Structure 1
Amino acid sequence: MSSVKLSAPSSLWIGGGRPLTRRAAFPPEIRRVAAVIRAGSYTDELVRTAKTIASPGRGILAIDESNATCGKRLASIGLDNTESNRQAYRQLLLTTPGLGEYISGAILFEETLYQSTTYGKKFVECLNEQKIMPGIKVDKGLVPLPGSNNETWCQGLDGLASRCAEYYKQGARFAKWRTVVSIPCGPSALAVKEAAWGLARYAAIAQDNGLVPIVEPEILLDGDHAIERTLEVAENVWSEVFYYLAENNVLFEGILLKPSMVTPGAEHKEKASPEIIAKYTLTMLKRRVPPAVPGIMFLSGGQSEVEATLNLNAMNQSPNPWHVSFSYARALQNTVLKTWQGRPENAEAARKALLIRAKANSTAQLGQYSGEGETDDAKKGMFQKGYTY
């Protein structure tokens, strides 16, 4: 097949000015057939899994912190970073009675996927009993991107197919791959393309092995830029991501997105209201995300627990073509961790705190959250500059 050189939008050029050579675009119906063929025997299951996770009033609990990052969480309450302490904390979360009413999926770190409770039940079984889909973090973390403006790329494609196959056997049914884009760093065209291509390759490999891929190009909150700048960058990033997802014949009905909300930079002089954040975020989604995608599971990105919930609620005040929900880590766990303090006698209170936050976000997914009765701790921001884990 002959190739064509595209020279129109600047977003179609590699950093340094070299034009991309791309295949002539196929009609959408042909791309869909190719995606279904590529997904193979897992096609129906992928669609069912994605729709199950994107079910009304439910979202994702992200507890996929690496051992090092989990250690930082534990250190904040005076606990050593040992496997037994990590197991105890994750057992506290994953065995909370009633959690499945508000949580449809839980992203796990590899250690947790293979772990059991102290009484011998696999964590995967604990989740399945509550009808919570087990998920798995599959990327290998961020490393410096040579030739960029002090930016990063996400590694982990080597051996990914065999790892995904093993994770599926262990009970995982969806996957997560996080890469980041920094607005203060430009972002460079090279970094955006690297992020988009890596996400697309990962998504295709995950689907080939039965895992619904969560596609997560996180746009960091770092910077003092206005919300308009965030919108511009987000549109550019998601344009690239969906181009390469299509190029890799990824089945859109069998993916979930984990975008950042469109907000001003964390150091911007003016703070945006939930209504403004909802307006800009939904504008970006409507311009860039096909309605075939079943679920938009937002990350909290360092917002306070209450901010993340209020913003989600504002986005659900009008009908959307997608399930607009949450995939929160710190915004679900912060109060839980402070309540627990590593003490068995605090476990019941910590589980209650988890249910309170999960229920608040469930209510926000339905557009019915008021913000009444929230504590001062829940209103404290958790932004960390250049956050990685």
Structure 2
Amino acid sequence: MSESLQDIARRLVVPHKGILAADESSGTIKKRFDTINLTSTVESRRDYREMLFSAKKAMHDHISGVILFDETIRQSAKDGTPLVKLIEDAGSIPGIKVDAGAIPMVGFPGETITEGLDGLGKRLAEYRGLGARFAKWRAAIAISKVLPTAGATYANAHALARYAALCQSEGIVPIVEPEVLMDGVEATHDIERCQAVTQEVLRVVFEELVRLRVDLTGMILKPNMVVPGKDSGQVVSAQEIAERTVAVFHASVPTTVPGIAFLSGGQSDEEATANLSAINQIKGLPWPITFSFGRALQAAAIQAWGGKAENVAAGQRAFLHRCEMNGLATVGEWTDAKEKQAA
């Protein structure tokens, strides 16, 4: 008997594990490869993902699921093993990014709307046949003194809800990702502004999810943490970030949601880990709270690998380290001392 949406959702947010976002678009992965002077080709992208997915201890112990790009879910390792099978053999769940990216929203300067709903039902059916058991759709919410507008917030929330409903109709768990951007239009907003905007965005998102009859027990929320804008100059502690973030969740996220998996959203590797750990030190959380990191899990690994076959083991060690540190953070046990001791 196949797993229910609720079973899959719960497996994605178990303690000590989180979700690897390996769904970089061709343009994004090229930028990552540029930092190591590696040409982005079908083969180099395959080799990089294979390095991560074949890191057995990291994957088995700390990665509950992997979000894939369309190209990646169809690829096989050098020995012919489908990359999806590598993920499944490690005990992780394959997932797929299904949005088509954010474009400028007509009539709303500085704001975007995410595309990809046309034909999504058919694509989801195909992805399920390729092994995907969950999906992801990202809405990018610009923030400033006057943004986001109610119109852009509603439009993106509505698209997220339509996507989520389509996913569930195909037996796929939707990851709902409304990201209030840390590096928004001006990136000078303070943490108080981020808190207010994040709370309102999540309120509207859940209002639309309920309106479109999405089963909240069969989804995962992927939000931003409540942090100041990148250029705000405001310095805040991990504890304050944790308290403000959890306050937003208590105000906006129904307790029936099976779990919350954070994006890193421009934070450094250690910042994202430290903040996640501080959040999980707060007592009485009604949701499992974990990570769904991309760059914050991969940055050290890609540098250690450098695009060279002889460095695969080094890349996997770097990946394991970040996975271990974030695994500790899912239970509130990460410390700076453990970070340095394990490095």
Q: TM-score category by the smaller chain?
A: over 0.9
Shift of 1:108: 0.4
- Of 145, 152, 159, 1:191 maps to 152
Residues in 2 aligned to 1:372 and 1:108: alpha-carbon distance in whole angstroms: 33
- Of 227, 239, 260, 1:296 maps to 260
Shift of 1:374: 4.2
Partner SS state of residue 320, structure 1: coil
| Mapping for residues 6-155 of structure 1, pairs under 5 Å | 45-98=4-57, 99-155=59-115
The residue type equivalent to 2:309 in the other structure is P
- Is residue 362 of structure 1 aligned with residue 327 of structure 2? yes
Shift of 1:357: 0.2
CA contact (8 A) 1:149 1:188 kept: no
| Mapping for residues 305-344 of structure 1, pairs under 5 Å | 305-317=269-281, 318-344=283-309
Shift of 1:209: 0.5
Shift of 1:319: 3.0
Structure 1: stretches of 5+ with no match in the other structure: 1-40, 379-389
- Is residue 215 of structure 1 aligned with residue 169 of structure 2? no
Partner SS state of residue 372, structure 1: helix
What are the Cα deviations for residues 18-57 of structure 1, in whole angstroms up to 9, with x where unaligned? Answer: xxxxxxxxxxxxxxxxxxxxxxx98x61011001111111
- Of 251, 266, 274, 2:215 maps to 251
Residues in 1 aligned to 2:338 and 2:311: alpha-carbon distance in whole angstroms: 21
Residues in 2 aligned to 1:294 and 1:267: alpha-carbon distance in whole angstroms: 34
- Is residue 169 of structure 1 aligned with residue 133 of structure 2? no
The residue type equivalent to 2:249 in the other structure is L
Residues in 2 aligned to 1:60 and 1:246: alpha-carbon distance in whole angstroms: 25
- Of 264, 270, 280, 2:244 maps to 280
What are the Cα deviations for residues 158-202 of structure 1, in whole angstroms up to 9, with x where unaligned? Answer: 000000001001110000001111112611111101110000000
CA contact (8 A) 1:149 1:186 kept: no
What are the Cα deviations for residues 63-83 of structure 1, in whole angstroms up to 9, with x where unaligned? Answer: 100111111111111111110
Please, what TM-score do these two structures have when normalized by structure 1? 0.84
Residues in 2 aligned to 1:275 and 1:367: alpha-carbon distance in whole angstroms: 12
Partner SS state of residue 4, structure 2: helix
Shift of 1:240: 0.6
The residue type equivalent to 2:290 in the other structure is S
Residues in 2 aligned to 1:254 and 1:373: alpha-carbon distance in whole angstroms: 35
Identical counterparts, % of pairs:
44
Partner SS state of residue 175, structure 1: strand
What are the Cα deviations for residues 340-364 of structure 1, in whole angstroms up to 9, with x where unaligned? Answer: 1111111101101101000100001
Aligned residues: 335
**What do you get for the CA RMSD once the two structures are aligned?**
1.4
Residues in 2 aligned to 1:274 and 1:248: alpha-carbon distance in whole angstroms: 36
Residues in 1 aligned to 2:172 and 2:56: alpha-carbon distance in whole angstroms: 26
Structure 2: stretches of 5+ with no match in the other structure: none
The residue type equivalent to 1:291 in the other structure is T
Residues in 1 aligned to 2:235 and 2:159: alpha-carbon distance in whole angstroms: 33
CA contact (8 A) 2:30 2:39 kept: yes
Distance 1:125 1:333, change over 3 A: same
Aligned to 1:160: 120
Shift of 1:206: 0.6
Residues in 2 aligned to 1:274 and 1:347: alpha-carbon distance in whole angstroms: 33
What are the Cα deviations for residues 62-121 of structure 1, in whole angstroms up to 9, with x where unaligned? Answer: 010011111111111111111001001011111111122111000000111010001000
Please, what TM-score do these two structures have when normalized by structure 2? 0.95
Partner SS state of residue 293, structure 1: coil
Residues in 2 aligned to 1:242 and 1:305: alpha-carbon distance in whole angstroms: 29
Shift of 1:373: 5.7
Residues in 2 aligned to 1:334 and 1:146: alpha-carbon distance in whole angstroms: 35
Which one has a bigger Cα radius of gyration?
1
What are the Cα deviations for residues 129-161 of structure 1, in whole angstroms up to 9, with x where unaligned? Answer: 111000000000111100112211000000000
The residue type equivalent to 1:350 in the other structure is G
The residue type equivalent to 1:128 in the other structure is E
CA contact (8 A) 2:110 2:142 kept: no
The residue type equivalent to 1:361 in the other structure is N
